[in-house]
Amino acid sequence: MDLTHPPEVEAFRAEARDWLARNVPAALLPSLETAEGFAAHREWEARLYAGRWSAVSWPREYGGRGADLERWLVFEEEYWAAGAPARVSQNGIGLLAPTLFDHGTPEQRERLLPPMARGEQVWAQAWSEPEAGSDLASLRARAERTADGWLLYGQKTWSSRAAFADRAFGLFRTGAAASGPHQGLTYLVFDLRAPGVEVRPIGRLDGKPAFAELFLDGVFVPDRDVIGEPGQGWRIAMSATGSERGLALRSPGRFLAAADRLYALWRTAADPADTALRDRVADALVGARAYELFTWAAAARIAEGGQAGAESSLNKVFWSQYDLALHETALDLLGGAEAELIDGEWAQGWLFSLAGPIYAGTNEIQRDIIAERLLGLPKGRR
C-alpha cells in the first residue's frame, strides 16, 4: 500500500502546474451558464487545447496526452488548485467521449473528438424527458427510420447548457418495448441547430439562462450519427453513467480545492471560540480527504482491471451531500447578512450544490443501486 507518485508522475504534475500558473485567467470568468460566459469558456477550452491539456486522458491522435488514471487525477488536482475555470466541455469529454471510445466507430471518433477537444463543438446531454426522469427507460421521444437515416420527434428537457451548446447526444425509442422498456432504444447524436430543433431556455433556480428543453420535429440524423447498434441504446448509455456519477463528473481535485478555500476562510474569518463551526470545517477537511483516498483506491482497482460499476453510486451520493454541506458551512462562516448576497462565490456555489442530489440520477435512485447491487437486497417496486 502506498500513496506516493513515481517521479515521472510528479514531473507531469510539475509540467501541468507550470502551464496552469502561466495560463489560468487572472480574473474569474463569467458563469458558463450565461451567453457571455459560454463564449469566454470556449476560448479557455481552446487555450487548454493549445497546451494539450483539454483532454489529457485521450490518445494523442485525438488531441490528448494518453494520460493514465493516476496522471489524470493529478492533473485534476492541479487544475482546481490553480483556480482554473469550470469545464464547459465536460458533458462531451466526460460522458460522450468514453462512450465513443467503447462503442463508436473509428470514423466517429475522428470526426467528433478533435472539435470537442478544441472547444469548437460543445455537447449537451439529451436524456431526460418531461415524463421520463428517474424512470429514464420510459422515454417516448422517438427516431423513425428514413432512407439514409432517422427522423427525431418528441421532447427532451433539463438539458444543461443546451441553450448555447452545438450538439447533443440522447436516447430515442426506435422499436417497440415489447420485451421490456430497456429494449428498442437507440443512442444517437444530433445538431442543436438542425432544422426541426427548437431550443427553449428554462430559468434555473440560480437565474442562469443556459438550461433548456428541446422540441424535436422531424430532425434528420444520418446513419453515421448512430452510436453503436440501433436498439442497443440502453446498454450503451448505461456504460457511461458510471462516469457521470463517479470520477469523470467529480474528480476529488475540485473538492480538495474547495475544502482548502473553506479552511482559509475559517482561519481568517471565524471566531476561534465557535467550536461548532470549527467542527464542521474539520468535517469538510476530512470529507475531502476521504473522497480523495476513496478515489485513489478505486483508481488502483481499475488499473488492475477492475470496473467502476455500482461503486460510482457511492461516489455520487457522497460528493453531492458533501458539496452541499461544504457550501452551507462556508455560508455560515460568512454570516447571515453576507451569505444572503447572491453574487458571492460561495453563495453561487451553494445554489448550484442544491442540484447535486437531483442530477446524474437522484440520490434515492443511487441508494437503491447501492442496496441492491452492493448489499444484495431484493429489488422492490420502483
Ligand X SMILES: Cc1cc2nc3c(=O)[nH]c(=O)nc-3n(C[C@H](O)[C@H](O)[C@H](O)COP(=O)(O)OP(=O)(O)OC[C@H]3O[C@@H](n4cnc5c(N)ncnc54)[C@H](O)[C@@H]3O)c2cc1C
Q: What residue ranges bind another protein (CB under 8 A)? A: 1-6, 9, 24, 26, 28, 70, 77, 80-83, 256-257, 260-261, 263-264, 266, 275, 278-279, 281-283, 285-291, 293-294, 296-297, 299-301, 303-304, 314, 317-318, 345, 364, 366-368, 370-372, 374-381
Q: Which three cell numbers stand for residue 214?
A: 428541446
In whole angstroms, the minimum distance from the beta carbon of 184 to ligand X comes to: 19
* Total binding residues toward ligand X, as defined by CB under 6 A: 17
Spatial neighbors of 286 by CB under 8 A, at least 6 apart, are none
Output 94 or 252, the one with its CB closest to another protein: 252
Q: Does 355 bind ligand X (CB under 6 A)?
A: yes
Q: Which three cell numbers stand for residue 67?
A: 494520460
Asked if residues 156 and 127 have their Cβ atoms less than 8 Å apart, the reply is: yes
Residue in 249, 316, 314 with CA at minimum distance from that of residue 95: 249
Q: How far is the CB of 260 from another protein (least distance, A)?
A: 5
Query: Could you count the other beta carbons within 10 Å of the beta carbon of residue 18?
Result: 11
Burial class (CB in 10 A: 0-12, 13-18, 19+), 244: buried
362 binds, among another protein, ligand X, none (CB under 5 to 8 A by kind): ligand X
Q: Does 362 engage in binding with ligand X (CB under 6 A)? A: yes
To another protein, the closest distance from the beta carbon of 23 in angstroms equals 13
CA angle 363–366–371, rounded 5-degree value: 125
42, 122 contact by CB (below 8 A) = yes
Q: Which is nearer to another protein, 156 or 280 (CB)?
A: 280
Q: Which is nearer to another protein, 33 or 77 (CB)?
A: 77
Considering the candidates 244, 304, 345, 372, report the single residue annotated as catalytic.
244
Is residue 127 within the footprint of ligand X (CB under 6 A)? yes
| Residue 350 interacting with ligand X (CB under 6 A) | no
Task: Kindly state whether residue 133 participates in binding ligand X, applying the rule CB under 6 A.
Answer: yes
- Residue 101 is placed in which grid cell? 471510445
How far apart are alpha carbons 295 and 278 in whole angstroms? 26
Q: Strand 142-146 vs strand 197-201: parallel, antiparallel, or unpaired?
A: unpaired
Under rule CB under 6 A, residue 99 binds ligand X = no
Interface with ligand X by CB under 6 A: which range of 92-100, 152-160, 178-186, 227-235?
A: 152-160
